[in-house]
Amino acid sequence: MAKRPDRKTQVLARMRSASDTSHRPDAAIQIYGTPGWGKTTIAAALAQQLKDGGDILWIDSSDGFAAVMDEAWATEDVIYGGEHFPAEDLTALATALAESRDMENEFSTVRVLVLDEFSSWYREVLEVAARDRTGTNDDDNAPETIGTDHSLPAALLESVFMKFHRIPNLHVIVVAHAREKTEKIPGGTRKVYHPHYPPLMNINIAAKLHSSVFLEGKTNGKGEVERMIVAQRTPLVEAKNRIPGMPTGKISPSEYIRRVVAWTHFEEYDGPTEDLTEEPVEESTEQ
C-alpha cells in the first residue's frame, strides 16, 4: 500500500495558477423535486457524462436506483452501495473515499458520487434522535419530533456533505425531496418549493453547491410527461447557480446536463437552446 503524502505535500499540491485550465473543477450539484418525476434518472444521466473514464459510486438511501437499474446506459461503470445504505455509515464512506485519493483502494477509480435522497437520510437520523429522546423501541411507531431533535441530524448530514465535498477529483451529485409550502397571496394561494431540509442546514449546504436546481414535472393535455429544470431562483422556487451562463428560464434536463458538463471541461456552451423558455415559473393558485 502506498505511503500517504505528508501534510505539506498535500497542501502544495492544491496550489495552481488561476488561469490554468488543465484541471477540471469538481462539481457539486443538487437536484431536488417532488417524488416520481425523474430525479434519479436525471442524476444518472449527469453522472454518466461527468465520469470521464472513471467509475460512479451510487449510494442509495431507499431503493431509488431501482428506477434506472434496468437501463444499461445508467448502470455502466456504476459501483452500487445497495438498496439501503444506512446514514450511520456515511461518515465511514467519506473517510474511505478521501483515503482513496492518497492510496489505492476499491474507491480509487470513483470520479462521481451520487447521494440519492440525501433528505431521506436526514429523516432517518431525525427518527433515531426522537426515539432516543423518548426511549421508543424500533418496533413501535415513530414518536413525534420536537425542535431539539433536529440538531443532531442537521449537524451529522452537514458534516458528511462537507467531507464528500472536500474530496479532490470527485464530482458530487445530491438528490433530494422538495418541501412544498403553501403561501397565501391575494386571491388565493401559491406553492413554494425548497429542498426538504431545515432552513439553516439548507443554507449551509447550498453555500458549497455550484448548482442547485428544482425539477418541475407535469402531465400535458395529451397525457405526456413534461420535465423542466428551474435553474435560477424565482419567487416560487429556491435555486442557485455558480455556473456561468445558466439561463433564468426553464430548460430541459438534457440542456442542463450539457451546460454542466461543458462548464466542468472549461468549454463555452454553444449547444441548441430551442427548449429554453423565458417565461417565469407559473404561480399556481387555488381558490
How confident is the model at residue 15, as a pLDDT?
77
Is 93 within the bounds of a domain?
yes
Is 15 within the bounds of a domain?
no
Kind and range of the H or E element at 12? Answer: helix 7-13
Is 284 within the bounds of a domain?
no
d(CA 123, CA 117): 10
pLDDT, averaged per 10 consecutive residues of the chain (287 residues), comes to: 67 71 79 90 96 95 87 94 92 94 88 94 88 87 88 91 94 95 89 91 93 89 85 92 88 94 81 44 37
Pairing of strands 28-33, 171-185: parallel
Is 271 within the bounds of a domain?
no
d(CA 123, CA 126): 5
CA 252, 253, 256, 258: dihedral to nearest 10 degrees?
-110
Whose cell is 422538495? That residue is 178
Is 13 within the bounds of a domain?
no
Please name which of 271, 273, 275, 272 lies closest in space to residue 252, comparing C-alpha atoms: 275
Beta bridge partners of 226: 218
Q: How many distinct structural domains can be found in the chain?
A: 1
CA 99, 101, 103, 104: dihedral to nearest 10 degrees?
110
Beta bridge partners of 191: 182
CATH code: domain of residue 164: 3.40.50.300
User: How many C-beta atoms surround the C-beta of residue 269 within 10 A?
Assistant: 16
Enclosing domain of residue 218? 24-264
Is 146 within the bounds of a domain?
yes
Is 89 within the bounds of a domain?
yes
Is 277 within the bounds of a domain?
no
How confident is the model at residue 18, as a pLDDT?
66
